[in-house]
A and B are shown apart, each in its own frame.
Chain A
Amino acid sequence: MQDCEKTTPAVELRGVTQRFGDYTAVQGVNLVLTAGEFVAVVGPTGCGKSTLLNVIAGLRPPAAGEVRVFGRLLTGLNRRAGYLFQQDALLPWKTALENAALGLTFAGVPRAEAYERAAAWLAKVGLAGFGDRYPHQLSGGMRKRVALAQVLIMDPKILLMDEPFSALDVQTRQLMENELLRLWEEDQKSVLFVTHDLEEAIALADRVVVMSAGPASRPIGEFPVPLERPRDVTEVRLTEEFLGVHREIWSLLREEVMRAHGQV
């Protein structure tokens, strides 16, 4: 990743603050996501991690500060970013195939071509032959796969992920995490992965950013993850290095978690 240092960051936040009425969710956030980097953001619940993603996605402009995407000031929606939401975001009235092809349909790609490419993507996420199912006919893990295909088919340079696997059972979750790493290693998108699960963050990311407890939360620590790639998220958890990084980050995160709970 050395030569990436010279290129413009994929995302750069400078002094970003976001408020909802009187409540300040995040304050004075500075954050850099280098091109091709996989960064995980962890923090206690209610620390404004999702708020940060929405700001970068351009869904809600920040109350103060600025967002730069590949060096350019972000106004309106972030067209370079794909967003994988925590909740189900598929259109329930469209089949898996139609859902996967949605972005292409919006872009005006002819139907036959859009469906062909969508079918290829469904196969890529392990859902070949499930194209004619409606979301309610799929399991939670399968719906996440469709959502992943729906986002990746648009080939976004930046991938924003908001606890995308938190609703899945542990086995499905580790399967999906490995799948994500495999897909990411194919073309090295810049990924900002938000989670409250420290183990997941370390297993996936190049760098882990710790947020303080809300309100007015901000990053309070950054830790590089010196684990080799390609990784297997299940096996990597058992290594000495993993435990070392985990111990280091947890000593910082624990206080914030305690604070978040003290306030509840």
Chain B
Amino acid sequence: MARFKVRSLQFALLLTVLLGWELSVRLGWVDAFFFSRPSDIAARIYEWFVSGEVYRHLWITLLETVLAFLSGTLAGVALGLWLALSPTAAAVLDPFLKALNSVPRVILAPIFTLWFGLGIASKVALGFTLVFFVAFFNTYQGIREVSPVILANARMLGASGSQLLRHVYLPSATSWILSSLRTSVGFAVIGAVVGEYLGASAGLGYVISQAEGVFDTTSVFAGIVVLAVFVVLLDVAVNLVERRLLVWRPEPGQEGGTV
């Protein structure tokens, strides 16, 4: 019941904003040239999907996102594991990693385009630099924060080094990595879209950038809406994966469980 109430209020809010926008333009309070109109934007999105021209761009952006996400996560987890278990390496690399992470990634986009061309590789590279650090820091943290008691217990039960890694360190870090998946996916999308925006021949970022070039505000807003829905769907997918992999974790308030 409460859920239904929240849903209806959300729907009402959305409707109010869209109607207000539509009316403001129709009554001439704001200029359609700068703000377009919800009805036009909806029509434009419908057009894109009916003609099918948007699918190519969606596919490219999705591909870049997934590749950046996977490569960044894998590399970040590998380095996180290594540094967490090797304090010397961590001490040596620490200032370099901090320096690299402090570079604003947008700055790198042109140079990646120069190195990797206008295709998807330069966008994957940009997303990689964002995702990598999220995965790295979370893995590092996850491994460093393994409870010393759990570790001592596993050792007393006879765990070897590789068994500790498999049964204790990795599962512990996994919960950290998974909790950061959302951030990672968001960053992968940012990498892809910003890369496309700054120089590409396909992708949602490219579509928006092209529309802006000719002051086609309807297409700009249409692109933004498609992009937003795209990210929300990815988020839902990530949420499903997270729930599947963290079945062992207590729901908030469930701690202590049954007696």
Contact = CB atoms under 8 A, between A and B. Distances in A.
Interface of A: 54, 57, 59, 77, 79, 81-83, 85, 87-95, 102-103, 105-107, 133-140, 150-151, 154
Contacts of B155: 59, 77
Given A94-B248, A137-B258, A106 B149 contact: no
A136 B256 CA distance: 6
A103 B167 CA distance: 11
Given A83-B152, A85-B152, A89-B150, A139 B258 contact: yes
Contact of A93 (B152, B157, B248, B259): B248
Contacts of A54: 152
B257 A85 contact: no
A89 B149 contact: yes
A110 to B, nearest CB: 16
Interface stretch (B25-33, B44-52, B158-166): B158-166
Contacts of A92: 248-249
A89 B248 contact: no
B38 to A, nearest CB: 47
Contacts, number: 85
Given A85-B149, A91-B171, A136-B248, A106 B259 contact: no
Nearest to A107: B158
Contact of A81 (B150, B156, B163, B250): B156
Categorize the interface residue count of chain B.
Answer: 20 to 34
A136 B257 contact: yes
Find the residue from A81, A82, A106, A107 having the highest chain B CB count within 10 A.
Answer: A106
**Nearest 5 CB-CB pairs, A to B?**
A89-B153, A136-B250, A103-B157, A137-B257, A93-B171
A79 B158 CA distance: 8
Given A89-B147, A90-B150, 16 more contacts: A57-B152, A59-B155, A83-B152, A85-B153, A89-B150, A93-B175, A93-B248, A94-B167, A94-B248, A105-B167, A106-B160, A106-B163, A133-B257, A136-B250, A150-B157, A154-B158
Contacts of B163: 105-106
Given A136-B250, A136-B254, A138-B258, A87 B158 contact: no
Find the residue from B155, B158, B167 having the highest chain A CB count within 10 A.
Answer: B158
B103 interface: no
Nearest to B157: A103
A139 B257 contact: yes
Find the residue from B156, B163, B171, B257 having the highest chain A CB count within 10 A.
Answer: B156
Contacts of B167: 91, 94, 102, 105-106
Contacts of A57: 152, 156
B152 A136 contact: no
Interface in B224-259: 247-250, 254-259
A87 B147 CA distance: 10
A83 B150 contact: no
Given A85-B149, A91-B167, A92-B248, A138 B257 contact: yes
B168 interface: yes
Contacts of A134: 247-248
B74 interface: no
B247 to A, nearest CB: 7
A134 B254 CA distance: 12
